[in-house]
A and B are shown apart, each in its own frame.
Chain A
């Protein structure tokens, strides 16, 4: 829930940036621009769907914003349980060949990726 509110706040700031007053006016949100930022290639039909989805999400976030949360402690986990600890023992036999089978490229036991410059 914490996250959703944060996202909502970001959208609010995005809306403010875009000069939009109310968030539910999704027409004023530049969906193609959001798609570019998200590295998503959306065709016209998908753009329309995204517009509807986004409107629904914002509506839900607005509804959640209405919930009074004053004095409620943030929840780390929904289950009323605590962490169980395991003994410090080596229990895994590693099969490198099997683990690396789905990797696009490996050499001498290493996974290879395009050069990352520090």
Chain B
């Protein structure tokens, strides 16, 4: 009988606040070591934490976006453990009453199928510092800049069954938190980190098997690979008559394997208890409503609208709606030119390619939506051919002039004077008597040759459809 994997993910999402969750120190990435660790972050005697309003608002925003219950009363707990990058000796977290309760996310799988994954909870907590093991011989360096950075820990139900579903979940939540602008989503800087819980069982078995937890995975690809390895390992152990031990494992990207990280003697007893330094957090209806008012049209709603109202394909709609800035840009282009399909093609084609090549975000694009919309209009009214439109776009990247002005100054206007075109066609037919004879003999492939010659002679400014007609008329 076949084996089935059961997977649940915990995602740590760094919230995009200016200051820390319990102190007024900056959260900016990349500062000198410890230059952003204030006495509260250092856990010096006598300091008291004060909760950041924005971190709470972002947690609520996330909760509303996944249709979750928002707990109007929640408390902060101390999670006690001993490690040098945790100077207080405890992490302030939420244990029994998280801010965000049960919610749900719909996975859009590559094959077009959908799958619902429950989200058990999302709670606020503070991040720990960083340990550097390779800078000082025989010693570990501690940088506490990250200490106190607000995190939203999002815990899923064990609803996923394949590594692909897990990576899709990670990808979609990554897109969602960026869309909501509550996290910058920078995986390389650790803005989102993933722990994966996985067990295997025989198909149809109602009981879960013993699980292991793979810690700190920071890429979509690695989540998939780590899970594939771990699932195979567990099946091998069980088929050889062994048993799985509940343990924390580490994924080694270079060797593509998971290894035990913490043994049983480290059995985690975090001794959670309510933090006496923090009063219970009460959320007013007014605050929740205020946050709800800032919620943009959600990706799934947008996606459905693009398909149903604009007639875009599922693929196009999915791609355009998954990023807030891309969707806004697309809609601004559409507002000018009123052609959804062309707007989608240009945003995802030429524009995306240029943005990637220059490594800039769409919000910083030198070609603004208004000008791209105007370009598409000129394409539609046959002022531009698809070839000259690309030449124009290239020019617009470095030239801020308006579309019509650029068409004029670069001489990109498509030739519509049929007399002028007629003369060019006449000349090309005369210059290539052999090919003309073959064309007349029924070798219709040569029609393309002549159209190509005319396009070349006019530097792409002729309308190929018109050229086609003129040649046919002359045969």
Contact = CB atoms under 8 A, between A and B. Distances in A.
Given A109-B143, A110-B132, A110-B141, A87 B53 contact: yes
B131 interface: yes
Contacts of A118: 133, 250, 261
Nearest to B40: A92
A96 interface: yes
A82 B287 CA distance: 15
Given A96-B34, A99-B42, A118-B133, A112 B51 contact: no
B54 interface: yes
Contact of A81 (B24, B132, B141, B279): B279
A88 B21 CA distance: 9
A92 B22 CA distance: 12
Given A89-B18, A91-B19, A111 B279 contact: no
A84 interface: yes
A75 to B, nearest CB: 8
B201 to A, nearest CB: 31
B138 interface: yes
Interface in A45-97: 76-77, 79, 81-92, 94, 96
Contacts of A92: 19, 23-26, 38, 40
Interface in B291-306: none
Contact-residue size bin, chain A (C-beta under 8 Å from the other chain):
20 to 34
A115 interface: yes
A113 B40 CA distance: 20
B271 to A, nearest CB: 9
B444 to A, nearest CB: 69
Contacts of A111: 34, 84, 141-142, 144
A94 B35 CA distance: 6
Contacts of A90: 18-19, 24-26
B143 A116 contact: no
Interface string B384-410: 000000000000000000000000000
Of the candidates B23, B24, B56, B83, the one having the most CB atoms from chain A within 10 angstroms of its own CB is B24
A116 B18 contact: no
Contacts of B144: 111
A86 B49 CA distance: 10
A76 B52 contact: no
B24 A89 contact: yes
B422 interface: no
A3 B53 contact: no
A108 B143 CA distance: 10
Given A88-B18, A99-B37, A112 B136 contact: yes
Contact of A110 (B25, B40, B143, B261): B143
Given A89-B19, A92-B24, A113-B142, A100 B34 contact: yes
A116 B131 CA distance: 8
Given A85-B51, A113-B84, A77 B280 contact: yes
Given A94-B25, A96-B34, A110 B51 contact: no
Given A81-B279, A109-B33, A115 B138 contact: yes
Contacts of A87: 53-54
A90 B131 CA distance: 24
B276 A77 contact: yes
B42 to A, nearest CB: 6
B432 interface: no
A112 B274 contact: no
Contacts of B142: 110-113
Contacts of A77: 75, 274, 276, 278-280
Nearest to A102: B44
Interface in B237-280: 250, 261, 273-274, 276, 278-280
B36 interface: yes
A83 B281 CA distance: 5
Given A92-B23, A110-B34, A85 B53 contact: yes
B291 to A, nearest CB: 13
Given A77-B276, A110-B33, A118-B133, A88 B52 contact: yes
B194 interface: no
B141 A83 contact: no
B135 A110 contact: yes
A19 interface: no
Contacts of A96: 32, 34-35
Contacts of A113: 84, 139-140, 142
Interface in B273-328: 273-274, 276, 278-282
B55 interface: yes
A85 B56 contact: yes
Interface string B123-152: 000000001110110111111100000000
A76 B280 contact: yes
B55 A2 contact: no
A117 B278 CA distance: 33
A115 B133 contact: yes
B52 A112 contact: no
Given A83-B51, A86-B53, 10 more contacts: A2-B273, A3-B273, A79-B279, A82-B280, A83-B280, A94-B35, A99-B42, A109-B143, A115-B138, A118-B133
Interface of A: 2-3, 76-77, 79, 81-92, 94, 96, 99-100, 105, 107-118
11 contacts: A77-B75, A77-B278, A85-B50, A85-B52, A86-B51, A88-B52, A89-B19, A90-B25, A94-B34, A94-B37, A110-B135
